[in-house]
Amino acid sequence: MMVNSKTELFKSIYEGCIPERVPISAKLPFEACIDYAGLSTVKAQWTFEGAEDAYDILCRKIHTDAMPVGGEEKNPAVFKILDSQGYQVTSSGSIQHSDCVTLFSEEYDRFIENPMDFFMEKVLPRMFKGLNCDAAQRSFILAKASTAFNERAVQVGQLTQKLGKKYGFFTPPAGSSAVVRAPFDLLGDFLRGFKGISSDLRRIPEKIGMACDALLPFQIFRGLPQNVSVLGSTFIPLHFAGYIRPKDFENIYWPSLKKFIEYLYCHGQVCQLFCENDWMRYLDYLYELPPGTRFIFEYGDAQKIKDTLGKKHIISGLYPLTYLKTATKQKCIDKAKEYIDILAPGGNYIFSFDKNPLSLNSINLENYIAVIDYVAENTWYTNAGELAIDRKRYGTVTCPAIPELKTKYLENDFSERDTTDIDEVMSRQLRKYDTVLMNMLLRSL
């Protein structure tokens, strides 16, 4: 059987209906694709040469419904131009991640007062040593970095659209998606580091909670795209929840994250959460999120997840990627059957693995393809079109009161610089450039 439209599969499930069959979302990263094509990963990272051919080959072989290749391609040119301390470009041209503390514990009060201004004045110069220079040189460096970032973004966007149309893959509408961190994870991963945030939890937990709340206007600026669509989403990889005490999760990690997700939902944007590590003890918290929230689980009891979340939310993940490397093809297919039998009934299930592979060596590609082919051929629903999520049952979501983002670094009023009337079209277009620059800097952290 053939689906009428791969996009329609996702549209149905995102609108709360049972699709024709279980949609498939699995992705090989840039490095794995380049490796499969036998090309130099370092050269391709710098030039993007060979990416189209490498992607095209795998698009013909892997029969997913969403784009089976790509993702967050790291651009070493941006890191090199900015002299990033978080991503180091080695002499061989490869990229290595390293921890960088950009907020000191004694600076919490200043940060809480205005996180956006603190980012601009303290975090970015500490993360990007290339910005520690005079104003003229700094402007030149930012212009070069923006050019490199936007050039790659255009290359990736055009290639994604081209291959999506060629093979019929589902791709979210342009400008309908965003990637952000939970407020606590932003603090821990990019500002304080694992050691610093762990110490802060013991010494000054109240400061972390205040900082998380203070970050919400900033995160909404980053996480609410201009082109809101049911086919888009705001992706939030959740990191620290599995490594902190339950009481710290309940009192510090969760409140700001829940408010953030509810605010976006009330403005038409659904969130997709990657639940890293084991979230079984927090399923009841996840249940309380707005209906139709999308979850990717790394670990967990599939039956308990289905029983707790399956009628209100959309579930994916769980299939262990490592199994593809160690088991026979038939056992890999049998493992897929196990998850499908539990998670597919009643809809609200997208097949995916527990994570995307870091490299081609981490999987057996033949088994990877065999599992995807099995799902594509054997997960048809007989009741497609029926309601899977009854949103009326869960009532309305109250929109949290979150202050507007206030900062001197974003242009919000153009009236003093332009004597003509500023209509909504002009204002929206000018604000877009603020977003473009901030997106480049923050995505490069």
Paired tokens of 153: 């973004």
Print burial letters for 65-87: b (CB count within 10 Å at least 16), e (below 16): bbbbbbeebbbbbbbbbbbbbbb
Could you state, in order of their start, the residue ranges of all structural domains in the chain? Answer: 104-141+171-443
One pLDDT digit (tens) per residue for the chain, 445 residues: 666 699 999 999 999 999 999 999 999 999 899 999 999 988 898 999 999 999 999 999 999 999 999 876 678 999 999 999 988 877 665 678 888 899 999 999 999 999 999 999 999 999 999 999 999 999 999 999 999 999 999 999 999 999 999 999 999 999 999 999 999 999 999 999 999 999 999 999 999 999 999 999 999 999 999 899 999 999 999 999 999 999 999 999 999 999 999 999 999 999 999 999 999 999 999 999 999 999 999 999 999 999 999 999 999 999 999 999 999 999 999 999 999 999 999 999 999 999 999 889 999 999 999 999 999 999 999 999 999 999 999 999 999 999 999 998 886 555 555 556 666 777 777 777 877 888 888 878 7
Give yes or no for a contact between 439 and 75, defined as CB atoms under 8 angstroms apart.
no
CA torsion 260→263→268→274, rounded to 10°? 20
Other CB atoms within a 10 A radius of the CB of residue 358 amount to: 12
* CA 353/CA 343 separation, integer angstroms: 13
CA atoms within 13 A on the CB side of 10: 22
Partners of 178 in the β-ladder? 234
Q: For residue range 84-99, what is the model confidence (pLDDT) as tens digits?
A: 998 887 766 567 888 8
The whole model's pTM is what?
Answer: 0.93
Looking at residue 87, what DSSP letter applies? Answer: E
- Rounded Cα–Cα distance for residues 316 and 302 (Å): 10
The tokens 């939970």 sit on which residue?
182
Beta bridge partners of 144: none
Beta-bridge partners for 275: 238, 297
Cα 286 off chain centre by: 17
Domain 104-141+171-443 in CATH 1.10.3470: no
Tokens at residue 161, please? 């659209």
Report how many helices (DSSP H) and strands (DSSP E) the chain contains, helices first: 21, 7
Q: What's the CA angle centered on 102, arms 100 and 104, to 5 degrees?
A: 115
β-strand 87-89 against 95-97: which pairing, if any?
Answer: antiparallel
Would you give the end-to-end CA distance of the chain in angstroms?
Answer: 45
Contact present, 112 and 403 (Cβ < 8 Å)? no
Residue 341, sorted as left (phi over 0), alpha (psi -120 to 50) or beta, turns out to be: alpha
